[in-house]
């Protein structure tokens, strides 16, 4: 009887876990994964989007302008493709994360014994997406409620909701215009988008009640952009560790 109860509980848990992706409107795709050297190398970003669309998801690249109705980043999933190191076998698996970096779903590992990288990656990714297609994704229309979101709401200090939101940056850190990595801020409805000289959208900023701090999204990772020590820093959590990256911005 105990074994039967345990199996039932595990099945219910697995179903609930799989169904959680249905609470998200769309998926954001980075142009580069950690195991490749350049954007869309081996057409992996293109293949990711193609597989997502086949599985029923709405998907956008991280540098695409999102349509109206997608302003809340926590209504979106952020996809990442990971590579398992293996001898003579290419292994890829897919992770869906929420806006706080919490893993919502991990696919089965796709495998390929092909020697050519582009062929092996395509076959491995297609095989990994078999388990994702089996989720039968359909947007539920509900706002996602995740443990990390709830914890963040509880642990953040209280904010005076009656205080007006700052509409412009004050006390802007010094800008080195000769910096080749300098980003330029373009105003948007809810904040700014930071573009490089290409021009390409590198990061999106969303206003908070403080002029020296923004909610920031870069390559599907959500964190914050904060001014301190006369410099901007993009800060986020990776593997439960705080990462702080210096960013040169001209507003």
Q: What pLDDT, in 10s, does the model give residues 65-113? A: 888 888 788 889 999 999 998 888 999 999 999 887 888 999 999 999 9
Residues of the chain with pLDDT under 50: 1-19, 146-170
How high is the pLDDT of residue 172? Answer: 63
Q: What is the 3-state secondary structure (H, E, C) of the chain?
A: CHHHHHHHHHHHHHHHHHHHHHHCCEEEECCCCCCCCCCCHHHHHHHHHHHHHHCCCCEEECCCCCCCCCCCHHHEEEEEEEEECCCCCEEEEEEEECCCCCEEEECCCEEECCCCHHHHHHHHHHHHHHHHHCCCCCCCCCCCCCHHHHHHHHHCCCCCCCCCCCCCCCCCCCCCCCCCCCEEEEECCCEEEEECCCCCEEEEEEECCCCCEEEEEECCEEEEEEEECCEEEEEEEECCEEEEEEECEEC
How high is the pLDDT of residue 102? Answer: 86
**CB under 8 Å to 165, separation ≥6 — which residues?**
207, 208, 209
Fold of 17-147: Rossmann fold (3.40.50)
**pTM metric for this prediction:** 0.55
Q: For residue 168, which phi and psi values (nearest 5 degrees)?
A: -145, 155
CA distance 189 to 71: 10
How high is the pLDDT of residue 10? Answer: 43
Neighbours of 148 (CB within 10 A): 15
What is the location of CATH 3.40.50 in the chain?
17-147
Tens-place pLDDT, residues 176-193 = 777 888 888 888 888 888
How high is the pLDDT of residue 122? Answer: 96
How high is the pLDDT of residue 161? Answer: 41
How high is the pLDDT of residue 50? Answer: 96
How high is the pLDDT of residue 2? Answer: 46
């Amino acid at each position: 009887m105990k074994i039967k109860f345990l199996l039932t509980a595990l099945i219910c848990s697995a179903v609930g876990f799989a169904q959680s992706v249905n609470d998200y409107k769309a998926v954001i795709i980075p142009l580069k994964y950690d195991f490749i050297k350049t954007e869309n190398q081996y057409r992996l970003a293109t293949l990711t989007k193609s597989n997502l669309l086949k599985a029923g998801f709405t998907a956008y690249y991280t540098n695409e302008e999102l349509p109206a109705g997608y302003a809340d980043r926590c209504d979106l999933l952020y996809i990442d493709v990971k590579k398992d190191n293996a001898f003579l076998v290419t292994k890829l698996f897919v992770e869906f994360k929420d806006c706080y970096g919490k893993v919502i779903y991990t696919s089965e590992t796709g495998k390929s014994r092909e020697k050519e990288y582009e062929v092996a990656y395509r076959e491995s990714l297609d095989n990994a997406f078999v388990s994702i297609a089996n989720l039968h994704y359909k947007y539920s229309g509900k706002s996602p409620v995740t443990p990390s979101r709830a914890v963040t709401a509880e642990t953040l200090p209280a904010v005076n909701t009656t205080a007006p939101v700052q509409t412009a940056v004050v006390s802007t850190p010094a800008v080195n215009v000769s910096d080749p990595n300098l980003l330029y801020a373009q105003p948007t409805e809810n904040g700014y988008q930071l573009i490089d000289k290409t021009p390409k959208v590198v990061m999106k900023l969303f206003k908070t009640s403080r002029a020296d701090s923004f909610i920031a999204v870069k390559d599907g990772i959500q964190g914050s952009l904060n001014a301190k020590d006369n410099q901007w820093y993009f800060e986020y959590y990776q593997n439960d560790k705080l990462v702080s990256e210096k960013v040169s911005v001209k507003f």
